[in-house]
Amino acid sequence: MDMEEAEGIIMQVMHKELRAIVWLGALLGCIMGTVMTFVNA
């Protein structure tokens, strides 16, 4: 296995995992924003 092939595999895995982390952060931010709106009202 050469370096380019290994790098391609690592980038595929990182892209998938990073996308999941970003969506989870967006969901948590939305939930917290909604909760804080009702708490401060």
Q: What is d(CA 9, CA 1) in angstroms, rounded to the nearest whole number? A: 11
Which residue blocks in the chain are alpha helix, DSSP H? 3-40
24 Cβ neighbours under 8 A, 6+ residues apart: none
Structure tokens at 25: 């952060």
Determine the 3-state secondary structure of 41 from DSSP: coil
pLDDT higher than 90, residue 2: no
pLDDT higher than 90, residue 41: no
pLDDT score for 26: 97
Give me the chain's average pLDDT, please: 93
Segment 4-26 shows an average pLDDT of 94
For 17-34, the pLDDT digits (tens) are: 999 999 999 999 999 999
